[in-house]
């Protein structure tokens, strides 16, 4: 009986954890090609403890240029600019009209803007997002999605920058240590450093283990200046 | 003498020509690609008249062992990067 209760609690914990993971404000595309101009989409999973999301402000990451926000369910946007480079967008705010605020936290929202990404492959960019919610009685509440990896608090939305690549074989020199290869190579068929190989796909991992002369790439990933072959 | 030679050539030609469509028809039906199709499509598939050996068209699925298919237990060669030699 005790075991049943414990396992039920464990399952409930896992479900709660996965639900909160899905509920974060997150980038719709977890990986993007460095240096490209793309449409960044951020998904807003929930409001603040039952209150509908009323406004969102996104701090534009350093190195990102050519920002042009798109209108959304929140209506028109407002921008702030860099004090020195007055053409450089520093933040974008989407805010609803009060009449459009919903009585409860029922909706999923997507906000988007066009931008040119930094030309820095094998790094990640983080979008710090400030969320304002509005209850039915007009009370405002706030949530800060600004924590970087290793920091306490609600996590900022992240996107991993991968190098431009084509289907087939691609050769890269790694600019810095990459301890977790899954961040950048989840969609690659296989990654090689010398005779060591990595794949996110478990079936391919089994084939790597079964091939004579091939080792699984070590758990600490690849190091700066390593030369790697990647097949997409 | 010349008349006999002409007659024999004509008969041989007629016999050969009448044989071609039959071969095409049987090829078409054995491959399963054209069952019930007209004779014109059969002759176009054979590459025209000429009396050569008909080429049997067999779909890849009919030769299940013809191509290596995963999982074989080891990495397929197309997963091995350029320049890497592995022990056989």
- List beta partners, residue A115: A38
How close is the nearest chain A Cα to the Cα of B66, in Å? 21
Beta strand A31-33 with A196-198: parallel, antiparallel or unpaired?
unpaired
Contacts of A204 in chain B (CB under 8 A): 75, 79
pLDDT of residue B59: 55
ipTM: 0.72
What value does the mean pLDDT take over residues B71-87?
85
**What pLDDT, in 10s, does the model give residues A24-52?**
899 999 999 999 999 999 999 999 999 99
Question: Which residue is listed with tokens 């996104």?
Answer: A58
**Cβ–Cβ below 8 Å for B87 and A231:** no
Torsion sign (Cα): B77, B81, B82, B84:
negative
Using CB atoms within 10 Å of the CB of residue A116, give its burial: 0 to 12 exposed, 13 to 18 middle, 19+ buried: middle
Q: Which residue of B has its CA nearest to A230?
A: B81
Q: What is the number of helices (H) and of strands (E) in chain B?
A: 2, 0
Residue ranges with strand state E in B11-55 = none
Residue ranges with strand state E in chain A = 26-27, 31-33, 37-44, 52-59, 65-69, 77-81, 89-95, 109-116, 123-134, 140-147, 154-155, 157-162, 169-173, 190-193, 196-198, 215-216, 227-231
pLDDT of residue B66: 57
pLDDT of residue B27: 35
**What pLDDT, in 10s, does the model give residues B3-37?**
554 545 544 444 444 444 333 333 333 333 333 33
Task: For residue A2, give the H/E element and its range.
Answer: helix A2-23
CB proximity B79 to A under 8 Å: yes
pLDDT of residue A16: 36
CB proximity B84 to A under 8 Å: yes
Q: Is the predicted pLDDT of residue B68 greater than 60, yes or no? A: no
pLDDT of residue B83: 87
**Cβ–Cβ below 8 Å for A210 and B81:** no
Contacts of A209 in chain B (CB under 8 A): none
CB proximity B68 to A under 8 Å: no
pLDDT of residue A78: 96
How close is the nearest chain B Cα to the Cα of A174, in Å? 17
How close is the nearest chain B Cα to the Cα of A120, in Å? 25
Compute mean pLDDT per 10 residues along chain A, 232 residues long, and list them.
40 37 79 98 95 97 97 92 96 94 94 97 97 95 96 96 97 96 95 96 94 91 96 96
Beta strand A140-147 with A77-81: parallel, antiparallel or unpaired?
unpaired
pLDDT of residue A58: 98
Under DSSP, the state recorded for B83 is T
Q: Which of B72, B77, B80 to mutate to test the interface with A (most CBs of A within 10 A)?
A: B80
**Cβ–Cβ below 8 Å for A192 and B81:** yes
CB pairs under 8 A between A and B: 42
CB proximity B5 to A under 8 Å: no
Contacts of A190 in chain B (CB under 8 A): 75, 79
What 3 state SS string does chain B have?
CHHHHHHHHHHHHHHHHHHHHHHHHHHHHHHCCCCCCCHHHHHHHCCCCCCCCCCCCCCHHHCCCCCCCCCCCCCCHHHCCCCCCCCC
Give whole-number Cα distances, A182 to A123, A197, B55, in Å.
13, 13, 49
CB proximity B71 to A under 8 Å: yes
Contact A52, A29 (CB under 8 A): no
**What pLDDT, in 10s, does the model give residues B35-66?**
333 333 333 333 333 445 556 665 545 555 55
Task: For residue A23, give the H/E element and its range.
Answer: helix A2-23
**Cβ–Cβ below 8 Å for A207 and B79:** yes
* Terminal-to-terminal C-alpha distance of chain A: 49
Compare CB distances from B75 to A194, A214, A229 and report the shortest one's residue: A214
Residues 6+ apart with CB under 8 A from A44: A25, A53, A56, A108, A109, A110, A111, A131
């Amino acid at each position: 009986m005790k075991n049943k209760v414990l396992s039920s609690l464990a399952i409930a914990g896992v479900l709660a954890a996965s639900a909160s993971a899905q509920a974060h404000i997150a980038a719709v595309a977890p990986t993007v090609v460095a240096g490209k101009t793309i449409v960044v989409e951020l998904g807003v999973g929930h409001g603040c403890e039952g209150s509908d999301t009323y406004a969102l402000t996104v701090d534009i990451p350093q190195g990102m240029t050519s920002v042009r926000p798109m209108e959304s369910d929140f209506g028109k946007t407002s921008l702030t600019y860099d004090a020195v480079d007055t053409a450089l967008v520093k933040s974008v705010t989407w805010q609803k009209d009060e009449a459009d605020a919903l009585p409860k936290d029922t909706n999923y929202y997507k906000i988007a803007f066009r931008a040119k990404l930094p030309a820095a492959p094998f790094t990640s960019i983080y979008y710090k997002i400030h969320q304002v919610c509005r209850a039915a009685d007009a009370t405002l509440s706030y949530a800060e999605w600004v924590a970087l990896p290793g920091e306490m608090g609600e996590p900022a939305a992240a996107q991993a920058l991968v190098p431009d690549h084509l289907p087939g074989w691609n050769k890269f020199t790694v600019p810095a240590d990459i301890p977790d290869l899954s961040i950048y190579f989840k969609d690659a068929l296989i990654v090689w450093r010398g005779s060591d190989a990595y794949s996110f796909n478990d079936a391919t991992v089994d084939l790597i283990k079964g091939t004579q002369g091939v080792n699984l790439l070590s758990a600490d990933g690849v190091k700066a200046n390593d030369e790697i072959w990647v097949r997409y | 003498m010349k008349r006999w030679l002409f007659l024999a050539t004509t008969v041989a030609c007629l016999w050969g020509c009448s044989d071609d469509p039959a071969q095409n028809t049987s090829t078409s039906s054995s491959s399963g690609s054209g069952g019930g199709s007209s004779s014109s499509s059969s002759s176009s598939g054979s590459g025209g008249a000429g009396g050569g050996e008909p080429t049997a068209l067999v779909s890849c699925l009919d030769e299940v062992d013809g191509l290596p298919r995963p999982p074989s237990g080891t990495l397929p060669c197309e997963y091995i990067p350029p320049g890497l030699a592995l022990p056989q």
